Structure 1
């Protein structure tokens, strides 16, 4: 089968500088009533591209459908660690077939989660490792879920080399951040960074090399400080970018230009 072609970064509109939401679940049920309006609001806010990661085989079709309906949306496909309890080995074959058929920018959202209870760590590890192998075989980057599981994830990344990617919703130490960077990853920052009490995340956002940072919403989840208790949405990304700019004492345009370039580098199929 012919390799899918690259996906251009500037898909919604030729805006300068363009914004990329590197992680948004626009296919989620929370958007069923007004998805078109949410996408339109993202366009109006200056977003060029939204990366939509799948979470299980059952929603591969929904992700593909949303990405076909809204030109600025691009898919990633994977099995999220919190959904492995209903996964089957055959889903890995379906994942490989979907990645060959659809113009995916990454394998994701995959990883480990050591927060949710109850959980099966062995089952999570099996699906994580097998998906890393798929990403390696296809030369695709990965979008990682790393909640309270950074060290075991880094261990597997050192063992099974992949083409870099994004450590989504990063909340580790500076040392752990540096290890991801050494492995060719960038780190996702979003709503959590906007809370004044999130001292560690804000310190990382302020001091990490700017070329290691990408912006994300994780909508409908992780709402920023000004939307506590409300549904998050991709049109909040400009204000999140402004928060990062304030933390780094830089013009917001510089933040947007840099983070957009970083996403395109981490997910090469987004490159022009």
Structure 2
């Protein structure tokens, strides 16, 4: 399991969870909602936190123009610091993007041109253009229980366009529990339902989705050793 940090001020609490359990890892980062309230966010501070073997990714970071809980200027500055850290460490960047497709795609392409870095569009709910532009520069797309929702036809259509070798599944726990558990607190076991829906969308078996998304996870999160069969 991968547990996500959304505030640097709470990183040690998240890190402690990862250190307690052999099958849990964590990230370090600042969610765009917290971009102006979390002070002293620098690439070096993020890089320093990644030296632990339990810290396997950077983020959650990105842009959220739906809620605009932080000024967009601060969101972008914070996001760029995370990109710099990802480029330096080559650890995957976990990206939150909501109602910011054009800016997100432009920033990713501009920054990628300065030097490649691995990244993941987490809990994907954006349009096809962002997804395709991200995949074109090496990005991955992670799908949550949203793809099981009745009104998510547009997202399912986008998923059809994406290559299997760039897809993952996730919970976004405790949010976005998939059908048939919608409305309940989400949990890791529920990813089975998301994977089943993904298999239906792609026209393959659930077992194939399990194998492919697990392989993709380990290709992206290189610090996590694969589980022995």
- Under a length normalisation based on structure 2, what TM-score does the superposition of the two structures give? 0.90
Structure 1 residues 255, 100: closer, same or farther in 2, change over 3 A? Answer: same
SS in 2 for 1:187: strand
Q: Find 1:266's aligned residue among 215, 220, 228.
A: 220
Secondary structure of the residue that 1:128 maps to in structure 2?
helix
Distance 1:196 1:69, change over 3 A: same
User: Deviation digits for residues 213-249 of structure 1, max 9, x if unmatched?
Assistant: 1101100112213223221111101121111112222
Task: Report Cα offsets for 1:33-55 as digits up to 9, x if no partner.
Answer: xxxxxxxxxxxxxxxxx111200
For residue 98 of structure 1, report the CA deviation from its aligned partner. 1.1
Distance in 1 (alpha carbons) for counterparts of 2:224 and 2:186: 24
Question: Matched residue of 2:56: which SS?
Answer: coil
Give the distance between the partners of 1:179 and 1:101, measured in 2 at CA. 32
- Long gaps (5+) in structure 1: 1-49
The superposition leaves residues 108-160 of structure 1 with CA deviations (integer Å, 9 ceiling, x where unpaired) of 11111111144310111111111111211222220100111122122222222
The 2-side partners of 1:177 and 1:245 are apart by: 19
Structure 2 counterpart of 1:57 = 8
Structure 2 unaligned spans of 5+? none
**In the alignment, does 2:27 pair up with 1:73?**
no
CA distance in 2, matches of 1:72, 1:245: 26
Q: Relative to structure 1, is the Cα distance of residues 91 and 134 closer, same or farther in structure 2, using a 3 angstrom cutoff?
A: closer
Using the alignment, how far apart are the partners of 2:170 and 2:67 within structure 1? 22
Partners of 2:65 and 2:57 in 1: how far apart?
23
Structure 2 partner of 1:149: 100
Q: From 181, 184, 188, give the equivalent of 1:227.
A: 181
1:265, 1:271 within 8 Å by CA — same for their partners in 2? no
Post-superposition offset of 1:72: 1.1
Secondary structure at the aligned position of 2:13 is classed as helix
Matched length = 223
Instruction: Provide the C-alpha distance between the structure 2 equivalents of 1:122 and 1:139, rounded to a whole number of angstroms.
Output: 25
Partner Cα separation in structure 2 for residue 154 and residue 138 of structure 1 = 22
Matched with 2:195 is 241
Structure 1 stretches of 4+ with a deviation exceeding 3 A read 90-94
CA shift, 1:91, in A, is: 6.1
Match of 1:167 among 121, 137, 146: 121
CA RMSD of superposed structures (Å): 1.8
Q: Is the alpha carbon distance of 1:241 and 1:112 closer, same or farther for their aligned partners in structure 2, counting shifts above 3 Å?
A: same
Q: For the residues of structure 2 that align with 1:173 and 1:117, how far apart are their CA atoms?
A: 19
Q: What corresponds to 2:48 in structure 1?
A: 97
Aligned pairs for 1:119-134 (under 5 A) are 119-134=70-85
What is the distance in 2 between the residues matched to 1:245 and 1:268?
25
Residue 192 and residue 90 in structure 1: after superposition, are their counterparts in 2 closer, same or farther (change >3 A)?
closer
Measure how far apart 1:270 and its partner are: 2.7
